Amino acid sequence: MSKRFEGRVAVVTGGAQGIGAAIASRLASEGAAVAVADLTAERGAETVEAIVKDGGRAAAYGADVSKTEDVQTLVAAVVAEFGKVDILVNNAGITRDNLLFKMTDEDWDSVIAVNLRSAFVMSRECQKHFVAQKYGKIVSLSSRSALGNRGQVNYAASKAGIMGLTATLAIELGPFGVNVNAVAPGYIATAMTDATARRVGLDPAELKKAAAAETPVRRVGEPEDIAATVAFLAADESSFISGQTIQVNGGANR
């Protein structure tokens, strides 16, 4: 594995499992020191242990990244530990699916807070360091659901918001050497998608099989597929790409 991120420091939110853990592991495998942020440091311990076992550098941090004070404390702690921050991956996300007439204010607010507000607050805090050093990479997780998905009005709105946030931050931060992009996964096999299947009364394995049959490449995505795309966007080789949302969905058009 190449060492594209040697000397770089990355923060990955929601890094304890699934796509976030895969991203953290991929960046670390290519030389980055990785701050794995999740609700508690204990949640991120397994990801950190795996990285360290493979010879990488990582540390776990606990924070509610939708809260400004937590984010300020988190970023200050990362800079104190590793000396700087170069890459921010806004991956933290939750689902609270329901049809509109059943959706509560709490389910709307919690999804918007974790999925969208956290990306805003984290980006605002990290940009102070990026602008000062004239270098930075922000990669946020959107979703195919941003185009609309039954039972996910809150999730779809949050992921569409990521697209708008990304395009605007690219304009504002580009003159300071900061690239801002997003990745919109299609069906990715994770604990979250398995839980979603069970909530609607479907067997996760059967849902994966059906999703694969509807995908042109005839398989569902894996967390590593998203990690590879994030790594590309976080690397210097993509320095002329900014403000984009990259669809990673096996060719599916919905």
Any idea which residues carry the catalytic annotation? 155
Alpha-carbon torsion, ordered 6, 82, 38, 135, to 10 deg = -60
In whole angstroms, what is the distance from residue 71 CA to residue 118 CA? 8
Query: 134-143 as b/e, with b when 16 or more CB fall inside 10 Å?
Result: ebbbbbbbbb
Which 3-state string (H, E, C) describes 153-195?
Answer: HHHHHHHHHHHHHHHHHHHHHHHHCEEEEEEEECCECCHHHHH
In whole angstroms, what is the distance from residue 18 CA to residue 161 CA? 22
Longest dimension (CA), the chain: 50
In whole angstroms, what is the distance from residue 24 CA to residue 15 CA? 6
How long is the chain? 254
Structure tokens at 88: 């921010």
Secondary structure class of 17 (helix, strand, coil): coil
Identify the helix (H) or strand (E) that includes residue 246.
strand 245-248
Instruction: Provide CB contacts within 8 A for 69, sequence distance 6+.
Output: none
In whole angstroms, what is the distance from residue 126 CA to residue 136 CA? 9
Which is it for strands 178-185 and 33-38: parallel, antiparallel or unpaired? unpaired
Q: List 176's β-bridge partners, or say none.
A: none
